[in-house]
Amino acid sequence: MRGSIDGLGSSTPISTMLPAVFAEDDLAQRFVGGLDDVLAPILNVLDCVDAYFDPALTPVDFAQWLSTWVGAETDGTEPEPRLRAAVAAAARLHRVRGTRRGLSEAVQLAFGTEPEISESGGATWNARPLGPVPGKPRPHLHVSIALPDPTPADTHRLDALVAAARPAHMPYTVTVTAAERTPER
């Protein structure tokens, strides 16, 4: 939450803008000093407003709010570095939404691991008409990831993410499995 900061001075004190007749008036100086205390945090935010829209510099709570503005695929439980990366990548991911690459990047940003994606489609070119149709006759998409300690919440989160980032016409399934652990030496 934004708020006041003790001892924060105003970048533009009102007392310097008063007519000269009020320069020595103690009541006027104390009155505008109180206004300066109220306005200082607002002026501070306005002076630094560009930093609020930079995912690397903005406060964490504003980054969470910013993620809703840009449509980042976040759920509020991700660690701060992953949240900032998702906000920074949101515009780029919207351009590739519905593609294999876009889905892979969205899953990687959300879970920090590379997904395995299998799909039924295909593309080909043939000089002769009525050639064989590539891919399988029924469309399908399957996304699977391996996590160190998977939970049912991870499966639900992956399902929601794939539902949002897949091609609109494509039926899909998801799988979350436990990653193989390497023995410690």
Return the residue matching tokens 């505008």: 32
List the structure tokens of 104: 């892979």
Identify the band that residue 181 occupies on the pLDDT scale cut at 50, 70 and 90. confident
Q: Give the pLDDT confidence of 88-115 residue by residue, as tens digits.
A: 999 899 999 888 999 999 999 889 899 9
Q: Give the pLDDT confidence of 115-140 residue by residue, as tens digits.
A: 999 988 777 777 878 877 777 878 89
Main-chain phi, psi angles of 117, to 5 degrees: -120, 125
In whole angstroms, give the CA distance from residue 52 to residue 66.
9
Q: For the chain, how many helices (H) and strands (E)? A: 6, 3
* pTM confidence score: 0.67
